Amino acid sequence: METRAASKRKANAMVLVQKQHPKRHRVALAELPNLPNHIVPGTRNPLKEKSRSVKNLNAKKPSPTTDQSSSLHIDESLVSDVYEYLHEMEMQKKRRPMVDYMEKVQKLITPTMRAILVDWLVEVAEEYKLLPDTLHLSVSYIDRFLSANPVIKSRLQLLGVSSMLISSKYEEMDPPCVNDFCSITDYTYDKAEVVKMEADILKSLNFEMGNPTVNTFLRRFVDVVSDNETTPNSQIEFLGRYLAELSLLDYDCLRFLPSVVAASAVFLSRFIITPELHPWTPSLNECSGYKPPELKECVLSLHDLYLLRKAASFKAVRNKYKQQKVIILIFGYSNVLQTCLPLLMYRIVTLKTSDAANCDEYISVAIS
């Protein structure tokens, strides 16, 4: 039996141990400082989310250190192989929509209905602050599904939100949930219908969900442009993204490979922003594998979209880019340049060269 003194000594010892080794508690994710890419569970309310801040498009990137430069140089040796792989992937039949599915498969859907859907999806992507890749993949899934499955008009919106649900899971760190997409349609479709359509899309596309898009190639071509230009890289990228998203509205653009659309977007962006320079360079020619004659039709199609000669009634893409502050004029440029682009393309095609050394001859034609 313990004496009172022994009990007191034991109690003091326990207090000392507790002071030396305080009891630890489990740290919640929200309490971890600067935790990258963590997801805090909770109810998503896109209407109350703060919009992502628009980057300063004219801001200069910090110069890489010596170690970073050598790392970039090493990575560059692999870039051409990656590009070749993506180029081969984009040409695979299973990853390409039919260019004439409206005529051969769809009896109740028209190109205008498709454009209305894409225009609405641009607004949905803005509402949920989704990445451009998510939007491009969504439209790719829609076109591939419509190439093999007849759809009635009342189910077209369901196809759109289900495709965006899949692409957001593929691309986003914190994708919207099924209920979010039901809500955005004003509950025209319930959760079971969206999930069922999601399964139908995955099965129809044989779970081949990782196809490259216009945005995939656009990033690469913009990086090449930035190596030797005085115009900020971000201006070319901004206008290129704008043209790429306009192309999503146009059913006729399905006949062009994503890499062709991306190359044409860079070509036209350079022509608009720096008309005094040749719009195509040897480095772009080498990187993309395309010469200007191969881009002619796509460049002129994008030019028509840019000038509102096509898809003029669809405002979502234009409104999206009007809201972003940028020191370039993307919604109008010289009337002389507007009329000379077809002539410039004709001269490039007939002379069959992309050599920047002949820039003076092209530009003299363009501005004369």
CATH classification of the domain holding 110: 1.10.472.10
pLDDT at 277: 79
pLDDT at 246: 96
Closest CA to 366 of 349, 78, 346: 346
Assess if residue 259 is contained within a domain.
Answer: yes
Single out the residue in 151, 171, 204 at which a domain terminates: 204
Total domains in the fold of the chain: 2
Single out the residue in 204, 226, 259 at which a domain terminates: 204
Closest CA to 258 of 226, 210, 223, 327: 210
Q: Which residues contact 322 (CB under 8 A, 6 or more apart)?
A: 331
Interval 349-364: pLDDT, tens: 444 444 434 444 443 3
Assess if residue 155 is contained within a domain.
Answer: yes
Interval 123-140: pLDDT, tens: 999 999 999 999 999 999
Assess if residue 19 is contained within a domain.
Answer: no
Tokens standing for residue 16: 């000392």
Single out the residue in 153, 178, 204 at which a domain terminates: 204
pLDDT at 74: 46
Q: Which residues contact 7 (CB under 8 A, 6 or more apart)?
A: none
Indicate if 237 and 362 belong to the same structural domain: yes
Indicate if 191 and 248 belong to the same structural domain: no
Q: Other CB atoms closer than 10 Å to residue 247's CB: what's the count?
A: 26
Residue 361: in which H helix or E strand, if any?
helix 359-367
pLDDT at 4: 55
Helix/strand number for the chain, H first, E second? 16, 0
Kindly report the pTM of this predicted structure.
0.72
User: Cα angle vertex 294, ends 293, 297, to 5°?
Assistant: 90
Indicate if 199 and 248 belong to the same structural domain: no
d(CA 267, CA 272): 9
Assess if residue 312 is contained within a domain.
Answer: yes
pLDDT at 340: 56
Indicate if 333 and 190 belong to the same structural domain: no
Closest CA to 167 of 220, 124, 116: 124
Tokens standing for residue 127: 């509402």
pLDDT at 78: 79
Q: Which domain holds residue 316?
A: 214-367
pLDDT tens digit at each of 368 positions of the chain: 555 555 555 555 554 444 444 443 322 323 323 333 333 334 444 444 434 433 444 444 444 444 444 444 446 667 778 888 888 888 888 899 999 999 999 999 999 999 999 999 999 999 999 999 999 999 999 999 999 999 999 999 999 999 999 999 999 999 999 999 999 999 999 999 999 999 999 999 999 888 899 999 999 999 888 755 555 577 888 999 999 999 999 999 999 999 999 999 999 998 888 877 788 888 899 889 999 999 999 999 999 999 888 888 899 999 998 876 554 445 445 454 555 555 555 455 444 444 434 444 443 344 33
| CB-CB contact of 165 with 199 (8 Å) | no
Extract long-range pairs of 40-44: CB within 8 Å, 24+ residues apart: 44/174, 44/176, 44/177, 44/180
**Measured CA distances, 180 to 161, 238, 314 (Å):** 10, 29, 24
pLDDT at 65: 43
